[in-house]
Amino acid sequence: MAKYNENGTPKKNPLSLQINLQKFEKATDEEKRQQDVMSKSTTFFRDGMRKLFRNPLAVMSLVVLTLIIIVIIVAPMIVPYGYSDILSVDGKRDKGAKNLAPFTYSELEQEYIANGGERFPHIFGTDEQCRDYFIRVVYGTRISLVVGLFASMIVLLIGMLYGSISGYLGGKVDLIMMRIVDMIYSLPDMLIIILLSVVLNQVMSFKSGSSLAKIGTNMISLFIVFGLLYWVGMARLIRGQILSIKENDYITAARTIGAKPGRIIRKHILPNCISVIIISTALQIPSAIFTESYLSFVGLGVQAPMPSLGSLANAAREGLQSYPYKLVFPALTICLIVLSFNLLGDGLRDAFDPKLKR
Amino acid sequence: MLGYIVKRLLLAVLTVLLICAITFFVMHAVPGGPFNREKALSPATKEALEARYDLDKPLVTQFFLYLKNLLHGDLGVSLKNGREISAIIKESFPISAKLGLLAVTVALILGTIFGSLAALMRNKLPDRVIIFFSTLFTAVPSFVLETLLLLVFCIKLGWIEVWSANSTNYLLPVLALAAYPMAYTTRLAKTSMLDALSQDYIRTARAKGVSKWKIIFKHALRNSLIPVITYAGPEVAYIITGSMVVETVFTIGGIGSKFVQSINNRDYTVIMATTIFLATLMVVANVICDLLYKVVDPRIQYD
């Protein structure tokens, strides 16, 4: 007896409980083609990026942020004025260049141009101390963005360290660490920032000319306070993530083969909550920029003559009726930056972590 | 429940003590004392004065003396004009309290209404408009918005008189103060309303033939209010810090503008006392919100 049927399938023993393969038909070529994988296999990251780029608001904010960053990097190289320089023509101080409207020249400059000289236009006009306003806004944006990025980095670093230790160790350590977080969380952050700024202003002094002195004690104290207070939200978030990731089998597997806790946290846990971390960092930046502009309003902003968007907008409130554009430019820049980061953060959240809701 | 309340109150008291300690010791780090004048005092006079005001005692003893005085309602005197700080607060706080309470109410009520409307008319024009404005308002620094409101409505159009002793129109300051929390509440209310509308009990109610409005008000709205109430705590904190800006811009003589003035004058005792006062207020508001939250949502466990 032949062991095989004509079509090559094995013959069924009549007594066997096996499925009768004769009842099956071979797939045609067309049917086989249906099983082909048509699209390229994607990774989690690539899939998220594709979703992000399909979100028009997120793409728009990415474009706006990129444009702003290009402008603040390139503009100081092109514009021949400094942020603290009083305008001068041919080495002579130009006292008429006070509060010029955008794209206008002072009398002295007009004379100079009439005599064949070339003068870079004052794109945003000038301020009450005869300084080019465009370059001040550019530097203000630089400062505000750096403050925002730096403050979020501090928050990220401390929050990640604290949250991952607390979440990974669990038990009593976690309980005590989280009570401390609760305590700090209930402190009114804004009041403490104001308090520390007031005091650190008096206590700290830096060598004049050093970069720390240029930013001023207020910004340093802002960073200190962010480092002391603002990390708790991040710590809580990361702890929650770690608590849920810790239960996965691959963590148990890693532990069985003797991986050390530090390695498990770095290699296995943190990469899995990276999307949550990135999203909340993106949302932290506008909040830091807001805090900075608020402090500028209260009179605890960056050290003059260094501009920040907040201090520029605040300074423009005086004489608002005559020179409204001086408020409009920095205020609009703040709005654009904050809005872009918010929308980008929302987009990132939708793309990478649809479960996470604010 | 009782255990939870006691625990929450204990945490609150501890927080207030911590705030007092931070304020006291941080302020003591400021160089110079209250008797440092342009004309130097003789050492004997200075010593006598310091002994008179207990400034010669150890710092920790001074702190406990300060706490004792605080409990007796004695907040000290202003370094700049010698006035009793408790009198300053008594005079300026009612204005701020009225402004703040109005703003909280406006933000919560209007925010909930706008948010629910946006959720009910999802992806239609009203939804788009509401979400556009609420996104915009969360991106404008408050002092810019307030300055623009003041410029347009008080000065350019002249519809509302600028705040002065005989014209106290709360409309603009309240709206300005409420703008950011209202925008935030709107977004919050929208998501939670959408969430509530997609629940099974809503479908059941609809299947039973309950009218649309009854479903919205009786089932969806009540459940969507829970996250909004959770936000009330941070909202009060925002309103308190925000009122400093609003009062300064609109030149309202509330406690917020007094605080900003004292910061600009480096009037340390006033800064210290006001910080403690406002911080205590925030802590109390947070406790109330937490307890209220548990009352509103019985599903939450008391740990």
- Domain's final residue, options A130, A160, A181: A130
**Average pLDDT over chain B, rounded to whole?**
83
Rounded mean pLDDT, B241-249: 85
- What is the structure's pLDDT at A357? 44
- Domain's final residue, options A114, A130, A146: A130
C-alpha A331/C-alpha A341 separation (Å) is 15
pLDDT reading at B267 higher than 90: no
Rounded mean pLDDT, B210-225: 86
Task: Tell whether A265 and A124 lie within a shared domain.
Answer: no
pLDDT reading at A348 higher than 50: yes
Q: Is A40 a domain residue?
A: no
Rounded mean pLDDT, A136-157: 88
Which one has a higher pLDDT value, A43 or A257?
A: A257
Task: Tell whether A249 and A327 lie within a shared domain.
Answer: yes
Among B11, B26, B245, select the one facing A196 at the smallest CB separation: B26
Please give the backbone phi and psi of residue A234, each rounded to the nearest 5 degrees, phi first.
Answer: -60, -40
Task: Tell whether A330 and A197 lie within a shared domain.
Answer: yes
Q: Is A304 a domain residue?
A: yes
C-alpha A347/C-alpha A250 separation (Å) is 30
- What's the gap between Cα A24 and its chain centre? 59
On the question of a cis peptide bond just before residue A305, with omega within 30 degrees of 0, the verdict is yes
> What percent of chain B clears pLDDT 70, i.e. is strictly above it?
94
Rounded mean pLDDT, B97-107: 91
Rounded mean pLDDT, A85-89: 75
Which one has a higher pLDDT value, B60 or B169?
A: B60
Rounded mean pLDDT, B102-128: 90
- What's the gap between Cα A261 and its chain centre? 29
Lowest mean pLDDT among A191-205, B189-203, B248-262: A191-205
CA-based nearest residue in chain B for residue A317:
B147
Give the pLDDT band (50/70/90) at residue A205. low
Q: Is A282 a domain residue?
A: yes
Task: Tell whether A188 and A210 lie within a shared domain.
Answer: yes
Residues of chain B found within 8 Å of residue A199, distances taken between Cβ atoms: 26-27, 29-30
Q: Is A47 a domain residue?
A: no
- What is the structure's pLDDT at B51? 76
Q: Is CATH 1.10.3720.10 the classification given to domain B93-296?
A: yes
Other CB atoms within 10 A of residue B153 CB = 16
Reading the block at residue B89, the tokens are 């607060």
For A:107-136, CB contacts with B below 8 A are none
Structural domain that includes position A107: 87-130
pLDDT reading at A194 higher than 70: yes
CA distance B211 to chain A (A): 30
> What percent of chain A clears pLDDT 70, i.e. is strictly above it?
92
Rounded mean pLDDT, B179-203: 89
CA distance A356 to chain B (A): 12
Task: Tell whether A115 and A166 lie within a shared domain.
Answer: no
Reading the block at residue A36, the tokens are 């082909």
Rounded mean pLDDT, A26-50: 80
pLDDT reading at A154 higher than 50: yes
For B:132-171, CB contacts with A below 8 A are 135-136, 138-144, 147-148, 151, 155
Contact A331 B151 (CB under 8 A): no
Q: Is A216 a domain residue?
A: yes
CA distance A184 to chain B (A): 8
C-alpha A158/C-alpha A220 separation (Å) is 17
pLDDT reading at A107 higher than 80: no
pLDDT reading at A13 higher than 70: yes
Give the pLDDT band (50/70/90) at residue A358. very low
- What is the structure's pLDDT at A53? 87
CA-based nearest residue in chain A for residue B272:
A195
Give the pLDDT band (50/70/90) at residue B35. low
Taking CA A115 as the corner, what is the angle to CA A111 and CA A117, rounded to the nearest 5 degrees? 95
Reading the block at residue A161, the tokens are 């360290």
pLDDT reading at B156 higher than 80: no
SS3 of chain B: helix, strand, coil, percent, to 5: 75, 0, 25
- Domain's final residue, options A75, A104, A130: A130
B285-291 long-range Cβ contacts below 8 angstroms, 24+ apart: B285/B232, B285/B233, B285/B236, B285/B237, B286/A186, B286/B12, B286/B233, B286/B236, B286/B237, B287/B8, B287/B9, B287/B12, B289/B229, B289/B230, B289/B232, B289/B233, B289/B236, B290/B8, B290/B233, B291/B5, B291/B8
Q: What is the pLDDT of residues A257-267, one digit of tens each?
A: 998 888 888 88
Q: Helices marked H in chain A — which ranges?
A: 29-33, 44-54, 56-78, 107-114, 133-169, 171-185, 189-203, 211-215, 217-225, 231-245, 249-256, 261-263, 274-298, 309-315, 325-352
- What is the structure's pLDDT at A64? 93
Task: Tell whether A154 and A299 lie within a shared domain.
Answer: yes
Residue found by looking up tokens 């062991």 in the block: A3
Domain count, chain A: 2
Residues of chain B found within 8 Å of residue A298, distances taken between Cβ atoms: 244-245, 260, 263
Task: Tell whether A183 and A230 lie within a shared domain.
Answer: yes
Q: Is the dihedral of CA B60, B62, B65, B69 positive or negative?
A: negative
Task: Tell whether A118 and A192 lie within a shared domain.
Answer: no
Lowest mean pLDDT among A288-297, B36-45, B135-144: B36-45
CA-based nearest residue in chain A for residue B17:
A187
- What is the structure's pLDDT at B113? 93
Task: Tell whether A173 and A287 lie within a shared domain.
Answer: yes
Contact B141 A310 (CB under 8 A): yes
Q: Does B15 touch chain A (CB under 8 A)?
A: yes
What's the residue count for chain B? 303
Rounded mean pLDDT, A268-277: 81
Give the pLDDT band (50/70/90) at residue A289. confident
**Average pLDDT over chain A, rounded to whole?**
81
Q: Is A352 a domain residue?
A: yes
Task: Tell whether A93 and A154 lie within a shared domain.
Answer: no
- What is the structure's pLDDT at A60? 92
C-alpha B102/C-alpha B175 separation (Å) is 9
Instruction: Classify residue B57 as left (phi > 0), alpha (psi -120 to 50) or beta.
Output: beta
Give the pLDDT band (50/70/90) at residue A209. low
pLDDT reading at A66 higher than 90: yes
Give the pLDDT band (50/70/90) at residue B57. confident
- What is the structure's pLDDT at A2? 61
Domain ranges of chain B: 93-296
pLDDT reading at B167 higher than 60: yes
Contact B266 A198 (CB under 8 A): yes
Task: Tell whether A95 and A229 lie within a shared domain.
Answer: no
Rounded mean pLDDT, A246-250: 86
Q: Does A182 touch chain B (CB under 8 A)?
A: yes
Q: Is A62 a domain residue?
A: no
- What's the gap between Cα A262 and its chain centre? 27
Q: What is the pLDDT of residues B58-87, one digit of tens each?
A: 888 888 888 888 888 888 888 777 788 888
Task: Tell whether A325 and A342 lie within a shared domain.
Answer: yes
For A:215-274, CB contacts with B below 8 A are none
Looking up residue A270, the CATH number of its domain turns out to be 1.10.3720.10
Q: Is A242 a domain residue?
A: yes
Which one has a higher pLDDT value, A98 or A54?
A: A54
Q: Does A185 touch chain B (CB under 8 A)?
A: no
- What is the structure's pLDDT at A109? 75
Which one has a higher pLDDT value, A252 or A101?
A: A252
Give the pLDDT band (50/70/90) at residue B109. very high
CB A69 within 8 A of CB A86: no
Q: Does A322 touch chain B (CB under 8 A)?
A: no
Give the pLDDT band (50/70/90) at residue B38. low
- What is the structure's pLDDT at A68? 92
